[in-house]
Structure 1
Amino acid sequence: MLLCYKKTPVKINPSFILASVSKNSHCIPTMRTLSTTSAYKPALAGKLYQKQPEVPKLPVPTLEETLPKYLKTLKPLLSQQEYESSKNIVSEFQASEIGQKLQTRLSQRAAEPGRPSWLEEWWNDLAYLGYRDPVVPFVSYFYAHKDDKKLRSQTKRAAAIVHTALKFWTSVVNETLEPETIKNTPLCSNSYQYMFNTCRIPRKPSDYPVQFDPALNPKITVARNGIFYTLPIIVDNKPLSIAEIESQLNHIVAQADGLVAPKIGIFTGDYRDNWTDNRKLLLDASPENKALLTEIESSILLLCLDNTRPLTQNEHSRGCWHGDGFNRFFDKPCQFIVFENGKSGFLGEHSMMDGTPTARLNDYILKETLADDFDTTSLQVRDNLLCPEPLIFKTNTPVIKALNEAANRFNHEIKNQQLSTLTFYGYGKKTISKQFGFSPDAFAQMLIQLGYYKLHGKCVPTYEPAQTRKFARGRTEACRVVSTESYAWVRAMEDSSIPVSKKVELLNNATTAHTKYVSEAANAKGVDRHLLGLKLSVKPDEELPALFKDPAYSNSSTWQISTSNISSEFYTSWGWSEVVPNGYGVAYSVNSDCIQFNITCLKNEYNLNAAALCQAIQDAAIDTRDAIVKNGANSAKSKL
């Protein structure tokens, strides 16, 4: 369910905003002004969306394309007997009447007029909106920013980040932001409409997003000490300057630190069904609470001013990932976190947007604010600015009880999470591509495979997302990392009897195979989304085909290693959680002169160890470099 009804194009610029908001907009909005926060739909006609007509629909691969590829991905994961059994099942499905019927149904769904993507509704619900565990730690992702040596004050750096983020917001709402392309191929811009002035709303059995008119909601939400404030960005027909934002944030910190009030943000870190029930409790406790929730939900973004001072990289990462759970509203798509020592980061709610648009947002902010010539001089602060008032929620005994229970559940989940970070300075993208001659992404993936094999003595199903935004409403396709080539290489690397020349040859085979799969997946020629579409095309009164009952089908897509690559010179770390109880979450960045890894896993009966995997990956990086260097030296000698 998408609450998007408004059809009138809205352009955000100072004159439009100033004409759309009250001259008293620096005061906390009343119920009457809140009634203008209507559901909203962008015009989708500006520069940001100008190439949308060129973006094709997501295609449906043929059975002849998918099924042989699927079998190939099973081979390194199964015994010979298991593989032969799965091979027979796949062959029977391909030749069966039901297999052809499901393919036809899926193709017909894809061809329906007015349906941009055959996958979108299914995927958004199954992967995100219908997911009932807490979004933090299990779904949302974080970026830990590089330090800004010019802006060590919490409120000064926060003001700079907000001011620059609002410039990006304006370009998104005005639809003047340059659309993205890859090799002159346009990417779908649809997800940008869910970046600002939107919120995820809990509901059973599936959540839903709401969008608010940005012209009527030129404000941000600020969180401090678990208390939320609305901070309008326009006062007396003039946007706030960096110095004025800083001044307002100083007022908020001073007031919030001496204030005792219900910290309702912890509700958003709970299981989604619990949050659904507790949201009703909160709304029933007082009619004022709905207006206060709407204030947060309709705001441009959330700024979290934490009262902690993380020092180590692990502390910084954890602060950005989850914090204490109170000083957050986890349902907002964009949350910037700034700590008392000036460190900062970002937390993204994942349901309607993947990481590439928010990475662009954060890179935009950090490229500008970290620049030596970024203007941090203090400007005059108007003396008529009113201190923002806190959003104080009315509670009763059931709400207080629910808050305590939600906090206990949140703390239990966070306590069970391991997180460890690694920055390997031995080499980076320049060396991997120019000196070693490998794809940086494929190379990093092989390091993860070798590290896991060193630690656990086996290879397990591994996921890497390939973005499919070259198609309308495209999100991701799964790249199955483990291949016969990668498996041969990791075993060879741990076998001292195999010459380095052979090891480097096998590494070349493994990275080539991986790059090929990623390219195919980005062109919607992967395995997993097509098989999912076929499975979902089975009618309720039809028997599920043997293909989907085969243990190999579920086991091969149970991602015991879930990976993703967002490479940016502006982050010290980024990441999210594992996706299965017996698995690791491995976020990595291949930067110019280093490779960063953030590894998460649970503390449970599977005895996984995030710190140990970091060490194993570092050992893998050293061993791989040594093999390449030694092979190069041997090759040079042979030419003498």
Structure 2
Amino acid sequence: MLPHWSTFKLLGLKSSLVKCMPVSLYSTTEKGKGTLFKYQNNLPSLPVPSLDQTLTLYKRAIIPFYPLGREDTFYQNYCKVIDNFKEVEGPELQKRLSHFAEGKRNWLSTIWDNYAYLGYREPVSPFVSYFFSHKNLNTEIGKDQLMKSAALSHRVINFMSKIEHETLEPELIKGSPFCMESFKWMFNNCRVPGLPSDTTIKFSPQKNRFMIVISNGYFYKVYHHDLNTGERFSLGQLYASISAVHNNSHQKPRCSNPIGILTASNRDVWATNYKHLCDNPLNKISLEQIQSASFVLCLDDNFPTTIAEKSVDCWYGNGYNRWFDKPVQLFVAKNASSSFLGEHSRMDGTPTLRMNDWIIKQISKMSVTEFHDEKKTAPQYTELVFEVDPFIQSQIQKEKKAFKQVTESLSINVWQFHGFGKEEIKAYGMSPDAFVQMLIQLAYYKYTGTVRPTYESASTRMYFKGRTETCRSVSEESLQFVRDWENTSKSGAEKIASLRSAINSHVRYVKVASKGLGVDRHLLGLTKMLRDGEKIPDIFKNPMYTYSQHWFLSTSQLSSNEFNGYGWSPVVPEGFGLAYMINPHWLHVNITAFKNNPLGLNPDYMAFYLTESIQELKEILSKSVIRAKI
């Protein structure tokens, strides 16, 4: 998951620090706290890769994109440029980067947050945010909009409390701790539009014990702790408050000036409108209430039925019943279909995956008897008021049209294949993630007859404030695999051998990237060390440098049996957004693209070739005699 790289200037962007409101975040030193952040102080710092290692890996990664591979004259000439950079400009930029990294536990964090997210000016929805669609629950709670809304909110508040008191278990992957820093930014946080880049604001959870409920386009401040006693509200009390808000909002016609649509704007436009809104003291107060709220719950009036409809609903929805700048936003439709949308600037998908997976598992075990409210506390909520002047009215109408135009330019296909998943792949001694990456490569090759730059997110959370590094999925081995697979003269054994070689190559790259030693973040860091007026080195001006970072396929895996959807947008006009889940016995790929894709590519056709590819892989693998012992 990453923003539209085609809209960035690859060079010349000045990095600026992420601006955050000074506020005491959850501390790891307070007495009585749990173990959530127990490993933070001992996490290693993100390393600065060696120049030689990065350039060697880079030269290898771009080979598949030259028609003649290693023998291509253009490749050989570019290698000379790369080698010259290693001897001439590279050492000085590397020295500057190493100096920049001194005293920092993560030299990349502020650069990346601004370059990839806060400095990005296109609308966060649908272009940056990611979504999870929850599976349907065949229970009384799971079929009632308001009961499910209360249940979701109650369990989210429980999860929030675990973070606040640090009782949430820290994550260990194969015995190694992962950075839990991003959990601090999950609640009571908000992205704020600004020029030339946005900021993030973090508020005290103890001083802001409320959530925002958006219903029929109106905004309500709904308390989840009692204003008088400070006690957390019960499930029944939350249900009463949410029901009261729903009733109140629907006693009026749908809001004619839905402020939320402004958050779907181009960020420069939203920054201008935001400043205008804040010039009115009443509006400024309402905006601060939204920003400081724990999270947002949206009560929708639609009935999404198919998985594609559910996915679209949480990907961008109707636009007006939303606040796209919050990192945790939940939606519940009239038919109780529920989902989640995450603003991406301060956290990636793994923390919110954990939260959503946990709350759906919790809700599936709940009983309606838990909604009984013995205290009969009066609902505690207030409606937020916005004074909308003619200028903002015109901007709302303008953004409604712009949002409709943008979202109608996108298409989606939700591909699922049951009866073959993680366990079946492991039975053949293969990495499930690498297998699906090769499945995607094969389907794309069948569709287009070529391979193109492919991005996969590799987690670097083994380091302090680690987020992601790029895994370049296309390799010499993956290219050979797709060619061999489509070669009718190759035997099944030869095809499987080629598949294994491609998978092993991919696994090696993921391991390198997860250690923070990939190509892309290091090269980005080197470009950021260039000073104003300095000549841009030829390595960065070569067409292959730009092309190999033009992600025709943007992919990432987050898996949960509690979801029936997960995805985001394509990141370049010609590309696919391919979000995939690998569950024990089924696979899921959410395929998004622009309808006016310059290459004429269509998600429906990509889904067709995914099916053809998995059926062929499954058939030939089933005939192989060697299966791994599990």
CA drift of 1:107 comes to 1.3
Higher mean alpha-carbon deviation, 562-571 vs 251-260, is at 251-260
Aligned residue runs from structure 1 range 217-616, under 5 A: 217-235=208-226, 236-237=228-229, 238-260=231-253, 261=255, 262-284=257-279, 286-371=280-365, 376-380=369-373, 382-386=375-379, 388-434=381-427, 436-604=428-596, 605-616=598-609
Give CA-to-partner distance per residue, 1:573-613, whole Å, 9 cap, x none.
Answer: 10000001110000000101100010101011332201111
Would you say the 8 A contact 1:144–1:572 is kept in 2?
yes
The amino acid across from 1:508 in the alignment is: R
1:189 equivalent in alignment to 2:180: yes
- C-alpha contact (below 8 Å) 1:220/1:299 kept by paired residues: yes
Whichever residue aligns with residue 121 of structure 1, its letter is T
1:138 aligns with 2:127: yes
- 1:473-518 CA-partner distances (Å, limit 9, x unpaired): 1110000000011111111111211111100000000000001100
Which residue is 1:24 aligned to? Answer: none
Partner of 1:100: 91
Query: After superposition, what is the alpha-carbon deviation per residue over 1:392-411, rounded to whole angstroms, capped at 9, x for unaligned?
Result: 21111111001001111111
* Cα distance change on mapping 1:390 and 1:617 into 2, 3 Å: same
Q: 1:208 aligns with which of 180, 199, 224?
A: 199
Q: Distance in 2 between matches of 1:2 and 1:550?
A: 31
Q: Are the equivalent residues in 1 in contact too, given 2:18–2:114 (CA < 8 A)?
A: no
SS at match of 2:381: coil
1:618 partner letter = T
Alpha-carbon separation, structure 2, partners of 1:367 and 1:463: 31
CA-to-partner distance for each residue in 1:450-473, whole Å, 9 max, x for gaps? Answer: 111111111000000101011111
Shift of 1:160: 0.8
In the TM superposition, what whole-angstrom CA distance separates every residue of 1:413-436 from its partner, at most 9, and x where no partner exists?
1000111101101401110002x2
Letter in 2 for 1:311: T
Shift of 1:374: 5.4
What is the rounded CA distance, in whole Å, between the counterparts of 1:5 and 1:588 in structure 2? 35
Partner of 1:124: 113
Q: Which residue of 1 aligns with 2:3?
A: none
CA distance in 2, matches of 1:363, 1:631: 36
Asked if the contact 1:192–1:357 (Cα under 8 Å) also holds between the matched residues in 2, the reply is yes
Distance 2:369 2:435 in 1: 40
Amino acid at match of 2:606: L
Instruction: Report the CA distance between 1:92 and its aligned residue.
Output: 1.2
Structure 1 residue 630 displacement after superposition? 2.8
Does the 8 Å CA contact 2:105/2:464 hold for their aligned counterparts? yes
1:378–1:122 Cα change, 3 Å: closer
Secondary structure of residue in 1 paired with 2:591: strand
C-alpha contact (below 8 Å) 2:21/2:202 kept by paired residues: no
Q: Is the contact between residue 463 and residue 562 of structure 1 (CA under 8 Å) also seen in structure 2?
A: yes
Contact 1:164/1:365 (8 A) holds in 2: yes
Match of 1:56 in 2: 44
In structure 2, C-alpha distance between the alignment counterparts of 1:232 and 1:539, rounded to whole Å: 50
| CA distance, structure 1, for counterparts of residue 281 and residue 77 of structure 2 | 61
Partner of 1:21: none
Measure, in 2, the Cα distance between the counterparts of 1:273 and 1:376: 49
Which stretch of structure 1 is more off in the superposition, 228-237 or 548-557? 228-237
d(CA) in 2 for partners of 1:390 and 1:324?
21
The alignment's C-alpha RMSD in Å is 1.5
2:241 counterpart SS class: helix
1 CA distance for matches of 2:380 and 2:112? 43
| 2:581 alignment partner, SS class | strand
Question: How many angstroms apart in 2 are the aligned matches of 1:370 and 1:494?
Answer: 45
Task: Check whether the contact 1:461–1:480 (CA below 8 A) recurs between aligned residues.
Answer: yes
- Deviation sequence 1:233-277 (CA, Å, 0-9, x none): 122423221122112111111111232443100000110001011
- Give 1:375 shift: 6.3
Task: State the identity as a percent.
Answer: 38
SS of the aligned residue for 1:165 comes to helix
Residues 344-384 of structure 1: per-residue CA shift (max 9 Å, x gap)? 1100000010001111111111121123x656543125444
CA distance 1:376–1:511, change in 2 (3 Å):
farther
Deviation at 1:165, TM superposition (A): 0.7
Cα deviations by residue, 1:30-56 (Å, 9 ceiling, x for unpaired): xxxxxxxxx443324352221112111
**Residue 244 of structure 1 contacts residue 381 of structure 1 at CA under 8 Å; is this kept in 2?**
no
- Which string of whole-angstrom CA distances, capped at 9 and with x for unpartnered residues, describes residues 124-154 of structure 1? 1110000000000000000000111112100
Q: Which moved more, 1:578-587 or 1:607-616?
A: 607-616
8 Å contact from structure 1 (residues 57, 472) kept in 2? yes
Match of 2:5 in 1: none
Deviates more, 1:603-612 or 1:450-459: 603-612
Aligned residues: 596
Q: In structure 1, what is the equivalent of residue 14 of structure 2?
A: none
* 2:238 counterpart SS class: helix
Structure 1 contact 3–40 (Cα < 8 Å) conserved: no
Q: CA deviation at 1:94?
A: 1.4
Query: Secondary structure of 1:473's partner?
Result: coil
Aligned 1:165-176 pairs, distance under 5 A: 165-176=156-167
Normalised to the residue count of structure 1, the TM-score between the two structures is: 0.91
| Residues 5 and 41, structure 1, Cα contact 8 Å, conserved in 2 | no
Q: 1:233 to 1:387 in 2, by over 3 A?
A: closer
In structure 2, give the amino acid aligned to 1:396.
Answer: D
* CA–CA distance in structure 1, aligned partners of residues 439 and 45 of structure 2: 35
Query: Please, which moves more after superposition, 291-300 or 45-54?
Result: 45-54
Find 1:43's aligned residue among 5, 23, 27.
Answer: 27
